[in-house]
Structure 1
Amino acid sequence: MGFSIAKKVLKSACRRNRCKRRVREAYKAVKNELLSGDELAEGFKHWYAAIFVIGAEAQELPYTDLKRVMRECLVKANKKFGKANL
């Protein structure tokens, strides 16, 4: 997985790096939840390469909301690109 945030979005490198760390941690937490036998785990055993382009709102978003959004993105990606659709 790749995480990217443009300099135009957040000027400060410190803020960009913090934002990427928060999103990366949310991804790890959600991935572990989905792979640990959650009811939505079906089809999540096969992962693909992806890049998340982060917006400035991720800096202000509470961590629980960040995890919820990440989960929605991964579930949506799995429905669209999952093994059943190949």
Structure 2
Amino acid sequence: MVAMGNGGERTAREDVICARYIKCLLEGRTCLIDEEIRSLRTDGGEHFFRPQTQEIFPQEDFRLCTRRDIFPFVLRVEKRENGGLESVKIDVQE
């Protein structure tokens, strides 16, 4: 996994929160991140709520990107023999 941050140059809070959450899941621990997600609205995700940026950063994207545990699968990227990359859906058993 690679957290790309902002343009691959700067750390992004949402990536750090997501990485911590995934780590908790892999370790079978509870991870309390709801307050951190809420704080992104004013500390890292402000551009989703500015009228002048709605065309490129719609407010609905913030809501969709901060929901968790809504898909029963993960996507794994695999390298193909021809050098290309392909996303493969992996179902998660509960």
Normalising by the smaller structure, the TM-score range is: 0.3 to 0.5
TM-score by length of 1: 0.33
Structure having the higher helix fraction is: 1
TM-score by length of 2: 0.30
Structure having the higher strand fraction is: 2
